Chain A
């Protein structure tokens, strides 16, 4: 009985709550709702006809293999806009083991100064 209670119990997070089973139930209802709306769709729609052809501002449609966007080009706009961040992060990740150790020394030094020197004064 206690086991079953644990299965359906609502998780209390201190300032909120979460019950995944309720969430799943709501999602099932939402899917059913969407299905009902879909059933009102136009019956004359036919797959693989002119109706489903892409319209690219009048330009011809290329073969699918040619229209593929490579992984490195996805989010190009975002990475271009954040170039200043990426330039500094790439400099940081230079693959040099000595620099890896340097970061360890920097973190240790900053923590030491904060905890031992500043902590002792304040």
Chain B
């Protein structure tokens, strides 16, 4: 076996290993611990890009823990890497690495950072596990690890009642969602005696129990992804966690979104393609589109009246999740043919754009909090005088998230709008109007925080440390490059991901032949 064969398990094992070592290294020196966490994530990022390059060129890779011979009754877990899982893994490691670098300065005044870095590395391992596993039960296990670590990180400011309340709500919602995922996995196992995604996909009948399992999985993972009207936990959690954690939580939320993609396309994709009842398949597509529209509208309308900087961005994140689901829903209507393929490309590309755009805005909210110790928009103003770089970064972030050219958000939204228009013009027009409202929301934030007269209590505010500026600057560069050269990203990263979703049969046959 070559080194690349071991890359797949190493991507999950390395942050997991790092998480267990972090408390020990913390005893030596805090600086070494911070460097250690960054190095672990740097190596993991290198491995992800190394494997992604191979997968995008040569197709899916699998790794089997345990015996590959199905005739031998042993417990085995299968990891797989195809276009979509590598696409998601790239987002997860990028956000995790940038988040940890940002944390160095942002979190330095806090106690308990050994636990913080341990939990962050565990969260990264769980996200990557969800995205790289080919086993449904294993997916549930990583989902649970993600829920528990996220909950502990949301409650990091343990002296604040609001943080504890947000963490409590998060764990209630997550535990209930994860239980329904487990129930759905149990339904598959009871019927087909299989837990492997590819095996289940190859024998799925779409009978009564399969329909129940589909409903449970979509509802539970949709809730974890922040789909309205099951999104209420998201502003609470995003608004109360340390900002660098919120930044990584964006990737954790998207790992659940990845679960929805896997369920809809890989496991149920073949069944949807064969369903003779147009009405039954239409119910699935239109239900997803309806929830997407609800997310867009509720997210934008609620964002407009928020006065807390981070809660406002969290509602905008709900709207962005809506745009992603709109692309997926429209993509499902024609399962990767014609405008359906364009919609899916737009939806998948928007996952990456959402991660960077919304992530950047959260980091800016963190920078403003770091400098002023304020989160209320009513108590801020005129900060552009003292925080010039942060103000410029915010302008880029607001234009990108509102879908204005020439930034990355425009490209993915354009793909979604044009394909949605072909399905139903009214939905496309509503989506465009909501995007304009989103621009209005962030113009309000820019005015409230950075413009206007200098407030007497904020006269001595200084720009944030260089490490935080470097992270925000790096994301701004990515946003501009993705916006100016969209084909570079679409051809090399987005299309392999969408092709992996559309050609689910090749994934199924590759995995099954690999196992047997």
Interface residues of A (CB under 8 A from B): 3, 6-7, 9, 11, 13-16, 18, 20-21, 23-24, 64-65, 67-72, 74-75, 78-79, 82, 85-86, 89, 92-93, 95, 97, 99-101, 103-104, 106-108, 111-112, 114-116, 118-119, 122
Contacts and interface: CB of A to CB of B under 8 A. Distances in A.
B35 interface: no
Contact of B212 (A20, A107, A112): A112
Q: Interface majority SS on A: helix, strand, loop or mixed?
A: helix
A74 B456 CA distance: 21
B488 A114 contact: no
Q: Interface majority SS on B: helix, strand, loop or mixed?
A: helix
Contact of A122 (B279, B339, B445): B279
24 contacts: A6-B487, A6-B492, A14-B418, A18-B414, A65-B456, A71-B448, A72-B307, A74-B448, A75-B444, A95-B232, A97-B169, A100-B232, A101-B173, A103-B229, A104-B177, A107-B222, A107-B229, A108-B219, A115-B211, A115-B214, A115-B280, A115-B284, A116-B212, A119-B280
Interface in B202-235: 208, 211-212, 214-216, 218-220, 222-223, 229-230, 232-233, 235
Closest CB pairs A-B (n = 6): A71-B377, A71-B448, A64-B453, A20-B406, A119-B280, A108-B219
Interface of B: 168-169, 172-173, 176-177, 180, 208, 211-212, 214-216, 218-220, 222-223, 229-230, 232-233, 235-236, 277, 279-280, 283-284, 287, 291, 298, 301-302, 304-305, 307, 338-339, 341-342, 376-378, 380-381, 405-406, 411, 414-415, 418-419, 421-422, 440, 444-445, 447-449, 452-453, 455-456, 483-488, 490-492
Contacts of A3: 488
Given A14-B338, A23-B406, A92-B229, A101 B176 contact: yes
Given A70-B378, A89-B298, A6 B485 contact: yes
Contacts of B232: 92-93, 95, 99-100, 103
Contacts of B453: 64-65, 67-68
A13 B342 contact: yes
A107 B471 CA distance: 39
Contacts, number: 164
Nearest to B343: A14
B291 A107 contact: yes
Contacts of B220: 104
A71 B378 contact: yes
A87 B341 CA distance: 39
A59 B443 CA distance: 28
B218 A111 contact: yes
A67 B214 CA distance: 56
Contacts of A116: 208, 211-212, 215
A107 B215 CA distance: 9
A115 B284 CA distance: 7
A104 B305 contact: no
A37 B220 CA distance: 58
Nearest to A9: B487
Contacts of B445: 71
A72 B216 contact: no
B230 A114 contact: no
A97 B487 contact: no
B381 to A, nearest CB: 6
Contact of A119 (B277, B291, B381, B487): B277
A79 B298 CA distance: 14
A26 to B, nearest CB: 10
B301 to A, nearest CB: 6
Contact of B415 (A13, A74, A92, A93): A13
Given A18-B414, A20-B406, A71-B307, 17 more contacts: A3-B488, A13-B419, A23-B405, A70-B377, A101-B172, A103-B229, A104-B220, A104-B223, A104-B230, A107-B222, A107-B291, A111-B218, A114-B287, A115-B214, A115-B215, A115-B284, A116-B212
A101 B490 CA distance: 38
